[in-house]
Copies of this chain bind each other. A is one copy, B any other.
Amino acid sequence: MKNSEMDITTLSALAEPNRMNIVQLLKGGPMAVGEIADQLGIRQPQASKHLKVLNDSGIVEVQVDANRRIYKLRSEPFQAMDIWVQSFRHIMEERLDNLDHYLRELQKKERP
């Protein structure tokens, strides 16, 4: 019955620009290491290192294709982040408790 404990390793893996870029890139679909490095303008060894971090944290998984490794996003970490963020619903939905908001609500009731 896991409440909403967010895995720190997921966040720290994403909290690095190159890795965040890799994740954004992989949103478009699976991709091999070389192409990832090309697209992002980084060197292949750095790409491999960052992909290792992403892999260790479970954000990506790898599919071996002969010579190459195709990396793709895994769904679980994003589902976990979704659940975690949703646990802040009451924070996100917080409305300004001022006159302005009051007047808006009033208008809604006058014109339903």
Contacts and interface: CB of A to CB of B under 8 A. Distances in A.
Interface of A: 6, 8, 11-12, 14-17, 20, 27, 73, 75, 78-79, 81-82, 85-88, 91-94
A82 B79 contact: no
As for how many copies of this chain the complex holds, the number is 2
Among the interface residues A16, A81, A85, which one has the most CB atoms of the partner chain B within 10 A? A85
Given A8-B20, A81-B81, A75 B92 contact: yes
Contacts of A17: 8
A85 B77 CA distance: 10
Q: List the 5 closest pairs (A to B, CB-CB), nearest first.
A: A12-B15, A11-B15, A78-B88, A15-B15, A82-B85
Contacts of A20: 6, 8, 11
Contacts of A82: 85-86, 92
Contacts of A12: 11-12, 15-16
